[in-house]
Structure 1
Amino acid sequence: FKELPPYLCKLDVTFQKECHCEGKDNRIPLLKEVFEAFPQTPVNIDIKVNNSVLIKKVSELVREYKREHLTVWGNVNYEVVSKCLKENADIPIIFCSQRVLLLLGLFYTGLLPFIPFKEEFLEIPMPSIILKLKEPEKMTRSQKFIIWLADTLLMRKALFDHLTARGIQVYIWVLNEEQEYKRAFDLGATGVMTDYPTKLKEFLHNYP
């Protein structure tokens, strides 16, 4: 850990075009330090690599700090999520990409109400934000169509309402504009992930 390089003092904001953030605190914190600094704050953990030792260590930390009810973990990879569930079934898991496709298939065929799920969190992007991150005039018609189709299939109020009624929370990422916040909550999302938490807090204060 000591050999890891520090964060850069200036970083581009991935989901905000031509924007960057600056700061002096560039040390990468340990997960236990995050748990100690924010004992009552829910934490979302993305297990980035398929490593059983890593999954076990994260599980041990969650148990040590008694944070099963405040932690959700997983990855886009099905095998990683399966290992997480097997290692510690008390920590809620997210839908991996494969299971998101299954979810959509069941939704559009009308079978979703009859199929149980172990996942408790759906965390998906809002595809339409890709258009603001790239230069639309340089995108092909097929690329624009794929983005439109993905957005149309994923951003469905009926789907979000159904999942919410089943106790499955829905989070959309990464949204940084007020119109994006509004669209997400109007669709019935439980919450959103953002690079600007203060901006989101101000929006929620005025959101009906």
Structure 2
Amino acid sequence: MTKQTDWRCRKSFISRHISHRGGAGENLENTMAAFKHAVDLGTDMLELDCHLTKDEQVVVSHDANLKRSTGIDAPICDMAYAELPPYLCKLGVTFQRECFCEGGEDNRIPLLRDVFEAFPATPVNIDIKVNNDTLIKKVSELVVKYDREHLTVWGNASNQIVKKCHKENPRIPVLFSLTRVLQLLGLFYTGLLPFIPLKEQFLEIPMPSIITKLKDPKGLTRSQRLIIWLADTLLMRKALFDHLTARGIQVYIWVLNDEEDFQRAFDLGATGVMTDFPTKLKDFMDRHGISNLQ
């Protein structure tokens, strides 16, 4: 099988523009309003996070505890869906220093099925936030019910969660876990990567250099700066991204909110960029003639 054939067989969608939590810098994160805004804008993919309520409803929310997002200090898993409080009207943007987003009328924590029903043709990137067999099973059931196996990618930094996802439904593509990213780097730098089969279809990694933008520069020690530089040098490799791309594996860089970082990611050969500001990324892509590869 040629590399080109392998690419087309493995890829059911290609995402250049990815809206992190629906675009947490422009609407309240993980709300239907955020997802609708991003889809209307033309995003290629929605990124979101899932938890399970006490009555086993799959909800879209980043944190396991509701304190940061709603002001109520309680775990999602201890409350029924009908009991969940609304989001606060103003939330901090995690990946943008000293930035807050104020929402409109939509501050409801949505169900995953709400997203699937509202955007049947939009790819969705699901972060399974906790190692819960029931959560994994129910997400898989929803993906199958809404005929979205070809429009979904799921996983987590936890290797155990990714293994469970793959075992539950091997037809849904999975992300590289943190353990597998480290293994991938080891294979790349030893020259063995071309000879090793990979089950994952998406590499989703941070751009370490953005940490210096998120923290007070005066608060970083020299050793911390060295670690950030080393991690950035090892991870942000065009040769690695080009190799994976040739094998049909998409590379997503997160979470980028500045144009210089958008430019760097695409120059390195990343398939797509994940951002809190979908309008800013779309404007950048339009100006630079960057469009979806499909």
The TM-score normalised by the length of structure 1 is: 0.99
Task: Tell me, yes or no, if structure 1 residue 153 matches structure 2 residue 234.
Answer: yes
Task: Tell me, yes or no, if structure 1 residue 94 matches structure 2 residue 175.
Answer: yes
Look up the match of 2:255. Answer: 174
Query: What secondary structure sits across from 1:193 in the alignment?
Result: strand
Look up the match of 1:79. Answer: 160
Q: Deviations over 1:68-107 (max 9, x none)?
A: 0100000001110000000000000000000000000000
Match of residue 10, structure 1, among 84, 90, 96:
90
Give ranges in structure 2 of 5+ residues lacking alignment.
1-80, 290-294
The separation in 1 between residues aligned to 2:85 and 2:271, in whole angstroms, is: 35
Q: 2:85 is matched by which residue type in structure 1?
A: P
The separation in 2 between residues aligned to 1:197 and 1:91, in whole angstroms, is: 25
The separation in 1 between residues aligned to 2:260 and 2:135, in whole angstroms, is: 38
The separation in 2 between residues aligned to 1:169 and 1:64, in whole angstroms, is: 25
Structural mapping, 1:125-140, within 5 Å: 125-140=206-221
Query: What secondary structure sits across from 1:170 in the alignment?
Result: strand
The TM-score normalised by the length of structure 2 is: 0.70
Query: What secondary structure sits across from 1:62 in the alignment?
Result: helix
Match of residue 99, structure 2, among 2, 19, 23:
19
Q: Deviations over 1:30-57 (max 9, x none)?
A: 0000001111111000001001111000
Match of residue 129, structure 2, among 27, 36, 48:
48
Shift of 1:61: 0.2
Between Structure 1 and Structure 2, the one with more helix by share is 1
The separation in 2 between residues aligned to 1:126 and 1:7, in whole angstroms, is: 29
Query: What secondary structure sits across from 2:275 in the alignment?
Result: coil
Look up the match of 1:61. Answer: 142
Q: Deviations over 1:97-128 (max 9, x none)?
A: 00000000000000000000000000000000
Task: Tell me, yes or no, if structure 1 residue 189 matches structure 2 residue 283.
Answer: no
The separation in 2 between residues aligned to 1:198 and 1:138, in whole angstroms, is: 31
Look up the match of 1:117. Answer: 198
Higher relative contact order (CA 8 A, sep 6+): 2
Shift of 1:206: 1.4
Q: 2:86 is matched by which residue type in structure 1?
A: P
Shift of 1:181: 0.3
Q: Deviations over 1:4-42 (max 9, x none)?
A: 221111011111111111112110110000001111111
Q: 2:216 is matched by which residue type in structure 1?
A: E
Residue identity (%): 76
Q: 1:3 is matched by which residue type in structure 2?
A: E
Match of residue 31, structure 1, among 112, 128, 133:
112
Q: 1:146 is matched by which residue type in structure 2?
A: I
Look up the match of 2:24. Answer: none
The separation in 2 between residues aligned to 1:98 and 1:5, in whole angstroms, is: 35
Aligned residue-pair number: 208
Q: 1:45 is matched by which residue type in structure 2?
A: I
Q: 1:175 is matched by which residue type in structure 2?
A: L
Q: 1:63 is matched by which residue type in structure 2?
A: V
CA RMSD of aligned residues (A): 0.7
Give ranges in structure 1 of 5+ residues lacking alignment.
none
